[in-house]
Every structure is written in C-alpha cells, then in structure tokens.
C-alpha cells in the first residue's frame, strides 16, 4: 500500500470513529428524576430510529387512549413521527416500541416495568396509568438524549442505553398546587404547568380557586362571584375566571395525563371576593370593596345567617359536579377574624356537604378543630401541633412544609419575586428533607407530599416557572423515590442534566448558582 493510500485509510477510519465513537452506555447513570426504585444496565444500545410505531394489543380501551397520547407526546419531541398500532394478536413484537397491560393485582396502580433491549423498548404495567408513568421515564431518557448528555459526552447517534427498570411510587399522593386567585392564570397556562409536572410523575394538581383577591370558578347559582368577584387581582389587574366549560377542559386535559385536579374553595376566611359580590353573605349586610393587597386573615363568612350555609352547599355542589376526582379542598386556613365556634360550625358544614357528594374533604391544618372523622385529609404547612391533633381523628396527612415545599419562597436575598416569611429556600434546602421523619408521623398516616405555589408576587406563568423550577422536581423525587437512595450530591448531578431538558422545553427555570458544574 503506498503512503498516500495508507494515509487515506487512516484518515477514513479516524473520520468514521469520529462520527461514531464506541458507545458507552449505562442506564444506571442516566439523570432520571424521580430516580426509579431499581435500575439495571446491560450496557448495550437501542437505536431510537428503530421505533416506527407504538404497538399495543387491544385488551383495554384505556390502553388505546394512552397509546394515542404517547403517539402525540412522542411526535411532539421527535422529528420522525410514529403512530399507535393495534395488534391483532397478543405477541410481543421482536422490535420497536411495545406497551403491554399485564394481569397483576398485587402491584400498585402506578407501578411499571421498562425493558430496553437491543431491538425492543417495552413498557409493562397493570394499568394504563402505570404505562403512562413508565412512559415518563422513557420520555426523560429521550429528552436527556436530545438536550443533555447524561453520560458526559454528546452522543452522535440517537440511542438509549439498554437495561431494565422496575419502579413504583413511595407515596400515593404527589401534588402541586397553583394559586390562581391572587393572580389568574388562563387555561393554556395551566395546561403547560400540567405538561411540565407530568414529566416528573406528579399525580395531583390542587387549584386554589378562591381567595380574598379573586373568585375564579363560575358558579351558576351565584353568578356575581365571578362577574364581580373575579374582576381583579393583586395589584389591581384584570383578574379573570374559568367558566365551567373551561374548568372541565382543564380537568379532562389533566386526567388524560393521569393528573387529578383537586379544587379548593377556601372558607370561611379568605372570602373577601365572595363577600364583596353578595352583601347578604356579610353579617352586617354591607359588601366590602374588592381587595387587591396581600394581607391575610381579615375576611370571614357569617355563621349567623342561613344563607351562608346555602351558599356553601351550592358552591360545593356545583364544583363537586365538575370534578371527578376523589378530593375536595375546603381551605380553612388563617380564618383569623372568625370566632372559633363559628369556624367549627362552618367547617363542619362544608365537610358534610363535601361528603354528600362522595368526595373526601381536605383542608389546611387549622381544620383540626372541626369534626374530621375519617376519611379526611389534613394538609400540614407550619404547625406540628395541628398535625398531632388531627391524627387523633385518624385522618391522613399531606406534607407541605412551608420552609421546604413552598414554591413562592425566594431562593435567596437576590431573588426579585416571591415572599420570604418562611425563610429563603434554595434548591439544596428544598431537596434536603425527609418526608418519613419530618413530623414523627407514621408512614401509613402520610398520604403524600404537595408543593404549593402562592401567586401574590407573580403575574405571568413564566414567573411561576422561575420559582417552581427546578425546586418542584426535587419534591417530585421526595414523593416518588425511596428516601435512603437520595443524597444532594447524587441529585445535584442529575438535576444539572435535567435543567438542560428544562431549557430545551422552554421552561423559564431559575439558574441556581448551586448547580454550576
Ligand atoms: C400562607 S399556607 C397562606 C396563603 C399565602 C401564603 C404565602 C396557607 C394555608 N395560607 O394564604 O398565600 O402563605 O406564602
């Protein structure tokens, strides 16, 4: 071989190696959040291009729906589009992408198994919900491949590492809350928030629909609640509200992604918007002005009027009829201007009314003074004594410790929006807590975790994203993964990669100095 030909061969080989380096893959090192319960890598590669359809055997109508949703979500993020494909026989295909419902009464409804072999991407679960949770894991792998490089090198080909994941949630309830009252967020904004939290396997979205500054859900029997009570917001902006059809649209959109909407009608305090809309709800018969400030604790429904109880029943009936989910939140927080005996009367009435519609009442921790007799759920936010009292009534607890889980707290003194009454909460502090020991409460009494977002200082959804992301991702892991496996150092490495995904998805996340590599 002459020297020129030899140089050509060397050049050719090095070029080829340059464009396709040997692919090292390790499924165990993928930057998944929440990290699955069990991950075993087999160090080979699955080429994404091999997927031309999402195959399923039609043994369940929900599976077909989920296959269509996967098709939509896959096509939204990949250049090559694929289609859901119904198989006539129940035979596992040799290659491609296959989702399968299996009979397994013992497993949790959100559990799934993901097997990635050289030729086949295979999700198995006993419910469509489990398939969807498993799909979020696949989706994260695809997004990491697309926007990050979770194994320290930019891959030149679109591949996934092979291996197996067996996964199940640690807590049943993994929630986010959005306050649409202090500032209103429209249907499209809420849908985007739903998309973003679904990726991290959050399964409940609690909407704080009413407060002093705005009533945001149409009540047909009390139309002025929205017409007047929904017409402004903190700072005096335009406000807004959901018609019942808008609300149904949100509920349906969320439920397709296996997220349950938990509606909150906050009472008897936090009711200035309602009191301003109907003078007859006030003890003195005088309607106060609409309120656009951010104080709390000054408003209350009147326990001495029959119409108050009629009002509570009407509102709960209409909202319960719009909500297929199990939970109905009645607020109950910071009723600082309500006499305790009046508070108990009204909260007890609301609880009964919720139960009449076959829903489980949920309330902020202050409702411990009411008659809770299970099933009921109490949401912890600041005072452990309230939780101790609640547990004497055999309720379940949702953990939302303000100094850890409140997404409206500023990250540090430099954060331009947000509040700081529970302290600054940086990304590390938001992650470093253990739900199983936080309150000395038995694990069986904890339904789960919720990260509330209060919107006093945020007018636009981009600002919500700035405060919520990336902290909410940490709360999603607290709710799903087993705690012993979680350490900040390990999480931080994964979060750095996930932030590249957030960027790719146009989520306006906060660039924390703690995450600089
Ligand atoms: C406390 S937490 C509140 C809300 C505020 C929030 C601001 C809770 C049940 N009530 O009314 O918006 O602090 O962080």
Pocket test for ligand 1, best of 454, 455, 457, 467 (most atoms within 8 A of CB): 454
Residue 59: pLDDT band by 50, 70, 90 thresholds?
confident
Catalytic residue IDs: 334
Instruction: List Cβ neighbours of 272 (8 Å cut-off, separation of 6 or more).
Output: 211, 212, 213, 288, 290, 291, 298, 299
Record the pTM.
0.94
Question: In ligand 1, which atom is closest to the CA atom of 364?
Answer: 9
pLDDT digits (tens, 9 = 90+) for 272-291: 999 999 999 999 999 999 99
Cα separation, 513 vs 517, in Å, equals: 9
Q: Which residue has the higher pLDDT, 152 or 83?
A: 83
Ligand 1 contacts (CB < 6 A) are 296, 333-334, 364, 381, 406, 408, 419, 454, 456
Quick one: which atom of ligand 1 is closest to the CA of 379?
Answer: 9
pLDDT confidence tier of residue 106, bands split at 50, 70 and 90:
confident
Ligand 1 centroid to residue 506 C-alpha, Å = 28
Predicted local distance difference test score (pLDDT) of residue 9: 37
pLDDT digits (tens, 9 = 90+) for 427-478: 999 999 999 889 889 999 999 999 999 999 999 999 999 999 999 999 999 9
163-188 b/e (C-beta count within 10 Å ≥ 16 → b): bbbbbbbbbebbbbbbbbbbbbbeee
Mutate to test the pocket of ligand 1, among 333, 362, 410 (most ligand atoms within 8 A of CB): 333
Residue 374 pLDDT level (bands cut at 50, 70, 90): confident
Instruction: Give yes or no for a contact between 45 and 23, defined as CB atoms under 8 angstroms apart.
Output: yes
Averaged pLDDT for residues 59-66 = 89
- Determine the average pLDDT of the residues in 151-155: 52
Whole-number Å distance, alpha carbon 210 to ligand 1 midpoint, is: 13
pLDDT in tens, 285-321: 999 999 999 999 999 999 999 999 999 999 999 999 9
Range from 49-53, 341-345, 499-503 carrying the lowest mean pLDDT: 49-53
Task: List the one residue out of 338, 188, 330, 172 whose CA is nearest residue 249.
Answer: 188
Q: Calculate how far, in angstroms, residue 478's C-alpha sits from the geometric centre of ligand 1.
A: 22
Q: Is 100 helix (H, G, I), strand (E, B) or coil?
A: strand
């Amino acid at each position: 071989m002459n020297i020129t030909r030899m140089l050509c061969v060397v050049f050719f080989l090095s070029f080829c190696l340059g464009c396709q380096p040997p692919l090292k893959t390790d499924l165990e090192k993928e930057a998944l959040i929440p990290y699955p319960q069990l991950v075993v890598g087999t160090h080979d590669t699955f080429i994404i291009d091999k997927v031309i359809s999402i195959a399923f055997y039609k043994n369940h109508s929900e599976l077909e729906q989920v296959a269509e949703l996967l098709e939509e979500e896959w096509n939204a993020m990949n250049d090559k589009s694929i289609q859901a494909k119904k198989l006539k026989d129940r035979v596992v295909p040799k290659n491609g992408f296959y989702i399968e419902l299996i009979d397994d009464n013992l497993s949790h409804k959100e559990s799934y198994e993901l097997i990635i072999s050289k030729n086949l991407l295979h999700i198995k679960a006993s419910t469509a919900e489990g398939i969807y949770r498993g799909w979020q894991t696949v989706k994260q792998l695809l997004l990491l491949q697309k926007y990050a490089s979770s194994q320290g090198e930019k891959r030149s080909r679109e591949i996934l590492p092979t291996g197996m994941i067996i996964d199940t949630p640690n807590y049943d309830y993994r929630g986010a809350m959005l306050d649409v009252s202090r500032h209103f967020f429209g249907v499209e904004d809420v849908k985007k928030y739903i998309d973003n939290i679904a990726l991290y396997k959050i399964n409940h979205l609690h909407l704080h629909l009413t407060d002093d500054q705005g009533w945001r859900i149409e009540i047909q029997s009390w139309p002025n609640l929205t017409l007047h009570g929904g017409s402004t917001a903190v700072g005096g902006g335009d406000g807004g509200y959901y018609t019942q059809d808008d609300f149904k649209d949100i509920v349906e959109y969320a439920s397709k992604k296996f997220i349950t909407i938990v509606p909150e009608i906050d009472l008897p305090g936090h009711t200035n918007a309602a009191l301003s809309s109907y003078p007859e709800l006030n003890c003195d018969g005088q309607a106060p002005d609409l309120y656009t400030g951010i104080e709390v604790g000054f408003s209350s429904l009147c326990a001495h009027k029959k119409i108050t109880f009629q009002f509570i029943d009407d509102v709960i009936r209409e909202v319960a009829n719009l909500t297929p989910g199990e939970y109905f939140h009645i607020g109950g927080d910071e009723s600082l201007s309500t006499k305790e005996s009046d508070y108990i009367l009204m909260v007890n009435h609301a609880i009964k009314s919720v139960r009449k519609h076959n829903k489980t009442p949920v309330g902020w921790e202050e409702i411990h003074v009411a008659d809770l007799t299970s099933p009921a759920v109490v949401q912890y936010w600041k005072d452990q004594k309230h939780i101790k009292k609640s547990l004497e009534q055999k309720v379940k607890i949702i953990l939302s410790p303000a100094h850890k889980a409140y997404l409206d707290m500023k990250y540090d003194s430099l954060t331009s929006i947000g509040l700081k009454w529970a302290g600054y909460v940086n990304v590390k502090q938001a992650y470093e807590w253990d739900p199983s020991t936080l309150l000395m409460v038995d694990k069986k009494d904890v339904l789960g975790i919720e990260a509330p977002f209060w919107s006093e200082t945020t007018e636009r959804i981009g600002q919500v994203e700035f405060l919520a992301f990336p902290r909410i991702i940490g709360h999603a892991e607290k709710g799903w993964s087993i705690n012993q496996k979680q350490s900040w150092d390990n999480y931080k490495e994964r979060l750095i990669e996930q932030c590249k995904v957030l960027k790719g998805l146009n989520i306006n996340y906060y660039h924390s100095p703690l995450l600089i590599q």
